[in-house]
Amino acid sequence: MNNNQKRIVIAGSLFLAGLLFLAGRLIQIQLVSTESFSKHKINLIDQSVRQRTHSFTINEGRGLLLDRNGEMISAELRPAVILFPFLKGEEGAIDEVANALGKSPSLIRRSLEEHEEPFVISDEKDHITSETMDKINKLKLPGVYAHYIARNKHSEFASALLGVTGQAPEVVKKNYKDKLDKGIVSINTKIGKTGLQQAFDPFLISEGETKLIYHVDRSGSPLFGLDVKYLAPSNPFYPVSVKTTIDSELQHILEDAVDKSGIKNGGAVLLDVSNNELLGMVSRPYHTGLSKNQMVARHAPGSIFKVVTAAAAIENKDLQKGRNFDCDLGIDGKSAKHPLGTLDFTASFSQSCNRTFGMLANEMMETNDKIIDDYAEKLGLTIRSGWHGQVYHYPEFKQFPEEEQGTIWGDRYDRNQPLAVSQTAIGQKNVQVTPLSVANMMAGIARGGKMEEVKAATKILYKNGNTLLSFPNHKQEKGIEPYTAQKLQMLLRGVITDPKGTGRALQKLPYTVAGKSGTAEKGDSNTSNKWFAGYFPADQPKYALVVVDFDYTDANTTVISAYADIVNKIYKNDKEK
């Protein structure tokens, strides 16, 4: 065989190998790996259909969050007219649509030229009414449909509490493998990433979109005539709705008061004392996206924590009964920054004397070095305050999945250091609690010492309105004695009524208030954590409220002004009902 013949054989072999490779690749694409092509596991059939399909999503199929009155708060329904691009050139249809909408035909034509996918004329800009929708649908024009569309709300309303949704393929693979394998969800299905959207995601996750679709050829012209199909999930029970405890009117009151007061880093928590349900929650700063909910995160409470020390002292009556304390001194025995003179236990609480509670804590720790821990737990500050428990096959379902648990001691040796004990007793050093747990503590005291978990939702409802499941009240295992609660109620009321009390600015509100202030220093920062926590009306408690500013300076009165504003507006709201 000469060289030319060798070259021909080699060239032919390479050509044949190339053909075999291409044939093998085509077999792989067309027959073998049609549903899982390449390392990216691409479904080629699905992608092929998508390329030939134009669609408009009416509803993503995700379940809804409702307020306590059954109104949607996670999404909204908007009346809309949906136009499909194959209307281009259909002059008669364009004229009829323009006439029904009260617009010029040229405007409709221009809109169609600008879009290659179905698009919507919505109520937001064009004030579509139900009458207009009826008129459009009676025309029975192919490619023109009037329908209510559901869209997620993008607003500050209860943003940190409600949370956000988004795509997270790895989470879908991990948490919803069965649904993914059955084709109920895809890796691109949106899931709840924060807040109640995250907590109730197993129930809210979409099991199929409702959409209008049509198929096109290579030129973009519709296949199968001008037929647009309406596709919706066949399950009559889904999507479900979660009925939350949020009162939309009270939530707006909280948000307006917090923003008006100038609180940029902080927020408020409002509970219904009778059933321990969350009525409203505000967290600032607010950012679109994954905003941290400050109200379920740990923060130094300052003198709010004196409630714990006081509760322990009340049940150790001989320690504080009939005693006076030198409140011209600080917890270190040196001159106090704000001297208060000689005070008894009651006045020490209302005027927030650090010396008194530092001394009492050290005396109690001598006989029981776990006493502060015990009473912090009894008052719910170091355990999970939000509702949690068994729900179906979820053994530890949490309504507040981002909630952090409070802490007291950072170093085990602090229990034996008098100064560290004193600092801990007044809510400094390493004490960290959440605003939610503080509100829960106040609600428990207002109820006479009965501690319960806070609910943010009461029911999950099927699409037809029937109840899928309910969340019963959960009592916390520990609590304080009724006598102790009664004494704490008197102390908390004294904070307001004492002419020198730290809450005296709240004396003239239409609802009487009982509560406690707190200021926690933040190391080298020139700002501090400023709290006011309490309940009202003091004689017949209905609401427990916490307001906190984490960037407080002595020059502002953000917390007190916000607290007073909220109480005034809730009183007015109650009277108008």
Active-site residue identified among 303, 352, 422, 437: 303
Long-range contacts of 178-187 (CB under 8 A, 24+ apart): 179/205, 179/207, 184/208
Long-range contacts of 235-238 (CB under 8 A, 24+ apart): 235/207, 235/208, 236/463, 236/464, 237/462, 237/463, 237/464, 238/61, 238/63, 238/207, 238/462, 238/463
The answer to whether 345 and 323 have CB atoms below 8 angstroms apart is yes
The answer to whether 529 and 434 have CB atoms below 8 angstroms apart is no
Eight-class DSSP state of 296:
G
| 3-class DSSP state of 272 | strand
| SS percent in the chain: helix, strand, coil, step 5 | 40, 25, 40
Of 178, 195, 188, 201, give the one whose Cα is nearest residue 63: 201
Eight-class DSSP state of 406:
P
Strands 241-244, 64-66: pairing is: parallel
- The torsion angles phi and psi of 564, rounded to 5 degrees, stand at -65, -40
d(CA 445, CA 449): 5
Q: Which residues contact 123 (CB under 8 A, 6 or more apart)?
A: 78, 79, 80
Task: Assess whether 303 carries a catalytic annotation.
Answer: yes
Active site amino acids: 303
